[in-house]
Amino acid sequence: MAAPKVTVLDYGSGNVRSAVRALERVGADVTLSARAEDVTEADGLLVPGVGAFAAVMAALNEVGAVRHIGRRIAGNRPVLGICVGHQVFFDEGVEHGVRTPGLGEWPGTVELLPAPIVPHMGWNTVTAPEGTRLFSGIEEERFYFVHSYAVQRWDFEVLQPRMKPPLVTWSEHGAPFVAGVENGPLSAVQFHPEKSGDAGAQLLENWLGTL
């Protein structure tokens, strides 16, 4: 079988090279690009992200990626977000009192973690739901987090009787927070799989298996 073609979205985020290498190690044919055809036509799209929510949203808008990501999701084409690339799929982010609209695929606000020490930096466990594909075989593993903000409440209304509710994975630092979401073609994780050793590699391999 041909290697799945994955585009890592190149919009100025700082962790793209490590993401490219991690995907290549698990068998993907990877392109680093923001070109419309690469974003929309690849078997899978990975949206990385580090830094501030507002800066990431501004950069996504600047390269025209918001529209292309929306087209992929509407067309049932797989997308994986990581770190701030996970956060931007929620309604909004609040940093230093400033609210920035996100992509609005899921309800929720990205807010500062109520922990004695932030950022939340290092290895942590997760609680994955029954039926997860992303975390299949690695439910008990630890993953590497670097973040100060997260979505701490989940309130998703299922609007259609046949619609499956998203699968939500949780972790905790000061309070429970959303560590991962699996929702049809769109998945995202708060941690860095490319920095999470064998467990992160298995998660990326699991995602490739859904393409």
Catalytic status, residue 173: no
Catalytic status, residue 83: yes
- 207 burial (CB, 10 Å; 0-12 / 13-18 / 19+) is buried
- How far is 137 from 13, CA to CA, in rounded Å? 30
For the chain, how many residues are written?
211
Catalytic residue among 83, 92, 105, 141: 83
φ, ψ for residue 22, nearest 5 deg = -65, -40
Catalytic residue among 68, 147, 173, 192: 192
Catalytic residue among 92, 105, 194, 205: 194
Catalytic status, residue 192: yes
Q: Report the catalytic residues.
A: 83, 192, 194
